[in-house]
Amino acid sequence: MRLAKRMDLIKPSPTLAIQAKANALKASGLDIISFGAGEPDFETPDNIKDAAIASIKAGFTKYTAVGGIDELKDAIIDKLKRDHQLDYSRSQIVVSNGAKHSLFNLAHVLFEEGDEVLIPSPYWVSYTDIVYLTGAKPVVIKTYASDGFKLQPSQLEDAITSRTRGIIISYPSNPAGICYTHRELEKLAEVLLRHQVTIISDDIYEKIIYDDNKFYSMASFSEEMKKICIIVNGVSKSYSMTGWRIGYAAGPEDVISAVTKYQSQNTSNPSSISQKAALEALRGPQEGVEARAREFQKRRDVIIKRLNEIPGISCMNPQGAFYVFPNIAAFFGRGFNGKIINNSSDMASYLLEQANVAVIPGADFGHDDHLRLSYATSLEQIEKGTERIREALLKLR
Ligand code: PMP
Ligand code: GLU
């Protein structure tokens, strides 16, 4: 059947595609270790599961308001106040089916043909394709390992044109785990404010942050900044709730009202049951969030050490999220059994075939010299998987 041309603009999400492939290989009996999709391996906490069960039993199983129930909006408002001293009202909050859905809806109400949307790289795989689907042009600003993969204010200044409508920025970042200091963000904010660039700030990894790094929301810098900022967040990563599909956006009323209208014509409300679960996640005890972040930090320390011990690999220490982004360019041009590895995709295939280890090619994040590994898996798997990678890389001549 003839498909709409816009389908040629995008590819399937590579993170989800590789995870599906790894799962299929596992199901066929192969002993696959997956560093693929970024999904916490922890169970959703019991208090959250219980809230969902209670909501089903209470018959809370019907349509809700399109943009989410008031109690959940209030919990989000309180969270933003508690964490960032930001004041929002219910009309400035919309709850969607995951942060990905919030980002998708926002892009569609904000951007169109002729617009340019800035995306610092390495970027999360879905940002560029979401922008393509709106008809706008993603303008990738390449950041460098020598700058700690941090966007520099001068790069930002150079990338802004009369067509620039927005920027999608995320820290701690997926895939490099980059965090910005308050001072660094202030400098970026100054440029964005001067040019009135709409900021979509994807804060999904806000709570998974290491060492002495702190998360700062640019929306909290000033009233003027708040007016150009839209915060996106969700419960997937902080509360191990990837399957529940609850994300949200907070921002200027006109934008949020447009997202709610748009959502009313695509998905309607996010699942009523998941909304009650998310309400418990945000209102219930928060100690587990910090405990899981500390556990991720332990895993980071092990995976970084193991990878950097492999001759030819260099890997920056991530400051948050649960990914490492090693440089593997030293292996390009080398091969095994007549198969030469020339790029990150060849390397990901080689590791899957030779080592039974699933990783994501860096090219999907805009940096072909790298691989992305998610360490949201057990220490035992990390030890075993990195050993397999070491053995496979030592075979390359
Ligand atoms: N933003 C980033 C940077 C992510 O890595 C992900 C992946 N889960 C998302 C958004 C989407 O999260 P959600 O599960 O809430 O859709
Ligand atoms: N965001 C996660 C990742 O980057 C989950 C998969 C996805 O939605 O892309 O692996």
What is the tens place of the pLDDT at every residue in 123-166?
A: 999 999 999 999 999 999 999 999 999 999 999 999 999 999 99
Tell whether 57 and 102 lie within a shared domain. yes
On the question of pLDDT at 397 being above 90, the answer is yes
Q: Which residue is it, tokens 């994807």? A: 202
93 lines ligand 2 (CB under 6 A): no
Query: Which pLDDT value is given to residue 357?
Result: 97
Query: Which pLDDT value is given to residue 1?
Result: 97
On the question of pLDDT at 78 being above 90, the answer is yes
Counting from 1 in the atom list of ligand 1, the atom nearest the Cα of 242 is 14
Counting from 1 in the atom list of ligand 2, the atom nearest the Cα of 242 is 5
Tell whether 197 and 256 lie within a shared domain. yes
Domain count for the chain, please give it.
2
170 lines ligand 2 (CB under 6 A): no
Query: Distance, CA 355 to ligand 1 centroid (Å)?
Result: 28
Tell whether 31 and 60 lie within a shared domain. no
Query: Distance, CA 204 to ligand 1 centroid (Å)?
Result: 6
On the question of pLDDT at 37 being above 90, the answer is no
Tell whether 326 and 274 lie within a shared domain. no
Domain boundary among the residues 250, 283, 316 is at 283
On the question of pLDDT at 287 being above 90, the answer is yes
238, HSE (Cβ side, Cα atoms, 13 Å): 24
Query: Treating both helix axes as pointing N-terminal to C-terminal, what angle do 287-308 and 379-394 enclose, rounded to 10 degrees?
Result: 20
Q: For the chain, what is the mean pLDDT?
A: 97
CB 202 within 8 A of CB 170: yes
| CATH number, residue 235 | 3.40.640.10
Integer Rg of the chain from CA: 21
Tell whether 259 and 119 lie within a shared domain. yes
Tell whether 192 and 336 lie within a shared domain. no
203 lines ligand 1 (CB under 6 A): no
pLDDT band (50, 70, 90) for residue 393: very high
177 lines ligand 2 (CB under 6 A): no
Domain boundary among the residues 244, 264, 283 is at 283
| Average pLDDT, integer, range 254-258 | 98
Domain span holding position 377:
5-43+288-394
Tell whether 275 and 157 lie within a shared domain. yes
Query: Which pLDDT value is given to residue 250?
Result: 99
Tell whether 151 and 223 lie within a shared domain. yes
Tell whether 97 and 121 lie within a shared domain. yes
CB 184 within 8 A of CB 216: no
356 lines ligand 2 (CB under 6 A): no
Query: Distance, CA 37 to ligand 2 centroid (Å)?
Result: 5
Cα–Cα distance, 140 to 117 (Å, whole number): 8
Q: Which two tokens stand for residue 313?
A: 């690999």
Tell whether 155 and 50 lie within a shared domain. yes
17 lines ligand 2 (CB under 6 A): no
Query: Which pLDDT value is given to residue 247?
Result: 98
| Average pLDDT, integer, range 43-61 | 98
For the chain, what is the total number of helices (H) and then of strands (E)? Answer: 13, 14
Nearest bound ligand to the CA of residue 123:
1
Domain boundary among the residues 238, 261, 283 is at 283
On the question of pLDDT at 297 being above 90, the answer is yes
Cα–Cα distance, 132 to 82 (Å, whole number): 35
- pLDDT of 300-353, one tens digit each? 999 999 999 999 999 999 999 999 999 999 999 999 999 999 999 999 999 999
170 lines ligand 1 (CB under 6 A): yes
| CATH number, residue 345 | 3.90.1150.10
Query: Distance, CA 129 to ligand 2 centroid (Å)?
Result: 13
Bridge partner residues of 200 (DSSP):
168, 230
Tell whether 213 and 339 lie within a shared domain. no
Tell whether 207 and 321 lie within a shared domain. no
| Average pLDDT, integer, range 195-202 | 98
| Average pLDDT, integer, range 374-390 | 98
Counting from 1 in the atom list of ligand 1, the atom nearest the Cα of 102 is 16
